Amino acid sequence: MPVFEGLLPTPHHDEYLQDLLFTLCTWHAYAKLRMHTSSTLNGLKSTTRMLGIQLRYFAKNICVLYDTAELPREEAARTRRRANASKKGTATASTFTRKLKKTLNLFTYKLHALGDYVSSIWQFGPSDGYSPQRVCYMLWFIFLILYL
């Protein structure tokens, strides 16, 4: 993808990032299909597995080599929160502020739930065809029928 070429200075790292972005795009294309077949769901399953492998490798071997810090607006927001907290008396004010180091966090629910997409699509259909709210109402209705 020419838009992202040269993002990382090391050619090997840049090539790996290109591959990771391609896998992310492929996964997203599979996940957002409105009509699935068994072959598209198998493709989504294998792409999800490949995405997990590539993300773990990227976080473990490439991200650690780059010194990343929070954005200036994140630093300003953190400083404002700290100042407001000290005015309220809930925290001590610190005059020394510096940018915090930021790393790629793989321990989020979004990444954890990627493996459940295929089974959810098998059970409920594509994600644009249902609402969790309707499922909640249906479960409540079943509860009322069984236990009342």
Clarify whether residues 23 and 51 are in a common domain.
yes
With beta carbons less than 8 A apart as the criterion, state whether 104 and 115 touch: no
Indicate whether 77 and 59 sit together in one domain: no
Domains: count for the chain:
2
Assess whether 75 and 130 both reside in one domain. Answer: no
pLDDT (tens digit, 0 to 9) for every residue of the chain, 148 residues total? 788 888 888 899 999 999 999 999 999 999 988 888 999 999 999 999 999 999 999 999 999 999 999 999 988 898 898 888 888 877 655 555 678 888 889 999 989 989 898 988 888 877 666 555 555 555 655 656 666 4
Q: CA 43, 27, 102: angle at the middle one, nearest 5?
A: 145
Same domain for 94 and 28: no
- The closest alpha carbon to 19, from 65, 67, 51, belongs to 51
123, 95: one domain:
no
2-11's contacts with Cβ under 8 Å and 24+ in sequence apart are: 8/62, 8/66
Residue 8 CB contacts under 8 Å (≥ 6 apart), including other chains:
14, 17, 62, 66
